[in-house]
Chains A and B, each alone.
Chain A
Amino acid sequence: MTTKPMITVTDLHKTFGEHIHAVRGVSLSVATGEVVVIVGPSGSGKSTVLRCMNTLETPTQGSVLVDGVELTDRDADIDAARAEMGMVFQQFNLFSHLTVLQNVTLAQRKVRAIGKAEAAAEAMRQLTRVGIPEKAGSYPRQLSGGQQQRVAIARSLAMNPKVMLFDEPTSALDPEMIKEVLDVMLELAAEGMTMIVVTHEMGFARAAADRVFFMDEGLIVESGTPEDLFDNAKEERTQDFFAKVLSH
């Protein structure tokens, strides 16, 4: 693994309104090729940290450096930076008026100005990679949640991103569909994709994560390898959390 950092977040703060201080000074660095999992209780600010990384949320304070570009700079080309960062949402957010194929070609055509045939070929490659090339002509509503989420992953991969952000990708799925999405993610991790994953799937974290960050109340409480955190946490809050989520 290289040590060149892909994303460096320094002293990140995010407030909503006057009273909600969702993130209270988070610093973390993710190396190229690294798989990082962020866990923590609901409302701990983990999704907000992730959404600040591609500035879907504008950080209130702090620095977000992605592949050498400081995204909090007023002059930073945010759209260009986002094109290099795939994002997968809890609610899939497939474009409901477009077919699966059009979902996967849209950004290639509009952002990368790639020709129709070439974009379609790339889309089919990515749909094959996530295992549902046969659904290319379907509309999102005709797909199961798991299939929709795999299309969403393919849609991001078609942009050939340098890093993939996952925001609770399996939280909205029925239990029997979680595995098909996690399998795709495990495969991506094995192929060396840089990934930052906010999830409650501890099995995935154990199998794929190089490092796990435990967040609570807007701060990173503890970080380390999955083994460090799951089995040998130093902080009491971390121990409590994993005792609850790993007990069954």
Chain B
Amino acid sequence: MPDPIAGTYDPDFSMKTDTEPSWTKRSDTTAWYDRFPWWGVILFLIWSTMLAKILFDDDYDLAWKRISPGVTLTIRSTISAFGLATALGLILGLGRTLQTDDRTNPLVRFIKISARNICRTYIEFIRGIPILPLIFTVALVIIPPLSESVGLKNKIPSEWRAIIALALIYGAYIAEIIRAGVQSVDQGQVEAGRSLGLTRGATTRSIVLPQAIRNVIPPLGNDFIAILKDTSLLSVLGVLELTQLTKQFANSSFKFREGYLVLTFIYLSLTIVLSLLLQQLEKYMTKDKTGAR
């Protein structure tokens, strides 16, 4: 899993911000083949070979027919988990940045200090544990008694237990992205807002958050892709997403090579498309506001 605070998922994908591809630019010291993105050609060739196999080989075609329906569930759980994780991350991330000083009303100060430390505890706790055991713990240990206590005895399908687990985990990672985004906004912007009489909250809403969003989009996109890949972990709960379907297909037909090649092909296609979309979004976000940094 990529570091959620670190810049980009794949530097070569997203660092080209000019309208012209960087490899066409003239330079005195390098020839075009120094700059040409050979890696893209190689990746495309690998991808095409896989595609050809699936199109023209019956065994691969069979694997494709059995596995590809899992795409719906993979995408659905990615979007659901990402949505919930972002909401949670926003609350945790902003909670972590709550500020207090001697002027703060004592009760408010107590609440803010508590909230800040609770958020921090949660974030550090979750980030200190690998994802797989966390998924088991949330889905099998934490959710069952909770759902029972609200009268939903075992009524929560494993798909949703898995989505909640992913959301709880990625909420902690996204919280750190939000915090970094908020703290990346120049302190002078806050001072300008406060000196005009805006409250702390109004300054956050009207000035800090809108500027933080721009800084937060690239790492958030990376986490979206990371969640997509980590939905493969949901197979351990028996959720019939891509990886679980592949496991079932391979185990029953002994066509391991075909099954896992098709699975690789599907994940690779999804992540490459998402990376390209993300790159376009970043380009749009930076071009849109000339006021941006």
Contact = CB atoms under 8 A, between A and B. Distances in A.
B110 to A, nearest CB: 15
Interface in B186-223: 186, 188-189, 191-199, 202, 206-207, 210-211, 214
Contacts of A78: 103
Given A58-B101, A96-B189, A82 B196 contact: yes
B290 to A, nearest CB: 5
A192 B260 CA distance: 79
Given A91-B188, A97-B210, A54 B102 contact: no
Nearest to A76: B103
B157 interface: no
A96 B195 CA distance: 16
Contact of A140 (B191, B198, B291): B291
Contacts of A107: 193, 196-198
Interface residues of B, number: 26
Interface residues of A, number: 35
Contacts of B197: 79-80, 82-84, 107, 111, 159
B289 interface: yes
A106 B210 CA distance: 13
Contacts of B202: 110-111
B189 to A, nearest CB: 6
A74 interface: yes
Interface string B261-293: 000000000000000000000000000011111
A95 B189 contact: yes
Contact of A110 (B206, B292, B293): B206
Given A106-B206, A111-B198, A139-B291, A97 B192 contact: no
A99 B291 contact: yes
B131 to A, nearest CB: 35
B260 to A, nearest CB: 46
Contacts, number: 90
B191 A56 contact: yes
Interface string B11-47: 0000000000000000000000000000000000000
A179 interface: no
B191 A89 contact: yes
B194 A56 contact: yes
A107 B289 CA distance: 21
A84 B196 CA distance: 8
Interface string B168-202: 00000000000000000010110111111111001
A91 B192 CA distance: 10
A242 to B, nearest CB: 30
A80 B196 CA distance: 9
A141 B188 CA distance: 15
Contacts of B293: 96, 141
A98 interface: yes
Please name the 9 residue pairs, one residue from A and one from B, whose CB atoms are nearest each other, closest first: A83-B197, A139-B291, A107-B196, A93-B192, A87-B195, A93-B188, A111-B197, A82-B197, A139-B290
11 contacts: A54-B195, A79-B198, A82-B196, A87-B195, A89-B192, A95-B207, A139-B292, A141-B290, A141-B293, A152-B192, A159-B196
Interface of B: 101-103, 186, 188-189, 191-199, 202, 206-207, 210-211, 214, 289-293
Given A106-B196, A141-B290, 17 more contacts: A56-B195, A74-B103, A82-B194, A96-B293, A97-B210, A97-B211, A97-B289, A98-B291, A99-B291, A106-B198, A106-B207, A107-B196, A111-B202, A139-B291, A141-B293, A142-B290, A156-B196
